[in-house]
């Protein structure tokens, strides 16, 4: 799993005050994206919107966007710079794809749709701190990929090509003509395959942390990925308590803030039938998927035509400066832009402000 900055705040943190005007703008953005409306009893219903109506509402959101933004104070998390984030909670939805129910989170917006794909053992809402800063300028979807989070899974199939087929089914089911793919680790592998197989669907691809070097250089980092897979396979799905889950996360991910820990416990565990908690994922399923980090994806990389942004962690053990020329060469039929971000691995968690800013800047000029 990766970490996240400031998802949940402690009672001692400073909370922004949300005005009725801010909530109104967030609600209109949701309406534009989904035809989402609330009836008098607070029940969410859907209704299709004519294109002309969407355009009119989009112009209204743009005029009121500045006043619909909250600036979180530095006190939000220790050592974390202040951020500009949208106030609305994400929408929760489910779509039946490829013989299972895929759950996804959505931060609605009036602009292009970003589909953010999480790493192995994670959950869609791990992108929250990034998504909050991109909506409502962008419509941000973050699915729980098959076998993760609140999504189901088919009996088999956890290679990148399988996950990519789910992304295509999600895009088709939501009638998304063009999408920006954003992926980290497992999500990056999925994005590479989907972008290669569906060039008509993907306008841009953003690899957060870059592609796994092992997928573009056969025989690289074999011990690392087999070791990770074996360790995951030995993990128990059962947890005696939330405190036990938090202790495991603190030990495994020392860069997690306490807010990160509690966010992961909240959204990546569930009550177990026999008492206590359990991880939402099946460790053996995730372990099988981790082995696919050794798959050769060079043929897919060579077929990608959309422009690519790679956000490289400066402290990455994997995508070192020496390896980057080879990484860029593999994407031989498109333009690759590399932006370095001060982080060690999980950029969307360690540096969500920088990731959101880099995505916004890149999409505004490419």
Q: How far apart are CA 192 and CA 40, in angstroms?
A: 44
Domains and CATH numbers, the chain: 89-366 (3.40.50.1820)
pLDDT at 260: 86
pLDDT averaged per 10 residues in sequence order, the chain, 366 residues? 30 30 42 39 40 47 38 27 54 97 97 97 95 96 98 95 98 97 98 98 97 97 97 96 94 84 94 95 97 98 98 95 97 97 89 96 95
CB of 293 closer than 8 Å to CB of 212: yes
| Length of the chain as a residue count | 366
CB of 281 closer than 8 Å to CB of 340: no
The residues pairing with 180 across neighbouring beta strands, listed in sequence order, are: 114, 204
CA-wise closest residue to 284 among 118, 156, 144 = 156
State pTM to two decimals: 0.78
Q: How far apart are CA 29 and CA 323, in angstroms?
A: 42
Q: How far apart are CA 162 and CA 194, in angstroms?
A: 10
Q: Report the sign of the C-alpha dihedral through residues 291, 294, 299, 301, in that order.
A: positive
CA-wise closest residue to 199 among 104, 298, 300 = 300
User: What is the maximum alpha-carbon separation in the chain?
Assistant: 60
Q: How far apart are CA 66 and CA 39, in angstroms?
A: 27
């Amino acid at each position: 799993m990766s970490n996240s900055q400031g998802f949940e705040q402690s009672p001692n943190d400073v909370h922004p005050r949300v005005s009725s005007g801010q909530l109104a703008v967030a609600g209109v953005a949701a309406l534009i994206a989904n035809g989402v409306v609330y009836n008098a009893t607070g029940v969410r219903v859907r209704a299709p919107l004519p294109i002309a109506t969407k355009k009119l509402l989009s112009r209204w959101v743009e005029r009121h966007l500045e006043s619909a933004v909250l600036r979180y104070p530095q006190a939000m998390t220790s050592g974390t710079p202040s951020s500009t984030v949208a106030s609305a909670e994400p929408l929760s939805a489910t779509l039946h794809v490829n013989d299972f129910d895929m759950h996804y989170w959505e931060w609605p917006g009036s602009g292009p749709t970003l589909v953010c794909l999480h790493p192995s053992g994670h959950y869609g809402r791990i992108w929250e701190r990034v998504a909050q800063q991109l909506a409502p300028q962008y419509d941000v979807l973050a699915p729980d990929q098959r076998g993760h989070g609140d999504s189901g899974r088919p009996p088999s199939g956890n290679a990148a090509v399988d996950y990519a087929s789910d992304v295509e089914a999600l895009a088709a089911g939501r009638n998304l003509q063009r999408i920006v793919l954003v992926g980290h680790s497992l999500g990056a592998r999925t994005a590479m395959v989907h972008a290669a197989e569906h060039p008509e669907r993907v306008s841009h691809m953003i690899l957060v942390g870059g592609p796994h070097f092992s997928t573009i250089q056969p025989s690289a980092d074999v011990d690392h990925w087999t070791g990770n897979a074996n360790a995951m396979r030995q993990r128990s799905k059962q947890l005696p308590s939330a405190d036990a889950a938090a202790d495991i996360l603190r030990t495994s991910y020392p860069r997690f803030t306490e807010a990160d820990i509690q966010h992961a416990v909240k959204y990546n565990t569930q009550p177990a039938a026999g008492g206590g908690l359990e991880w939402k994922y099946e460790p053996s399923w995730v372990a099988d998927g981790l082995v696919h980090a050794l798959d050769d994806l060079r043929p897919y990389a060579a077929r990608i035509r959309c422009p690519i942004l790679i956000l490289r962690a400066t402290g990455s053990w994997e995508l070192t400066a020496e390896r980057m020329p080879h990484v860029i060469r593999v994407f031989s039929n498109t333009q690759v832009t590399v932006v370095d971000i001060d982080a060690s691995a999980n950029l969307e968690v360690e540096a969500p402000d920088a990731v959101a800013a880099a995505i916004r800047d890149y999409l505004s000029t490419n």
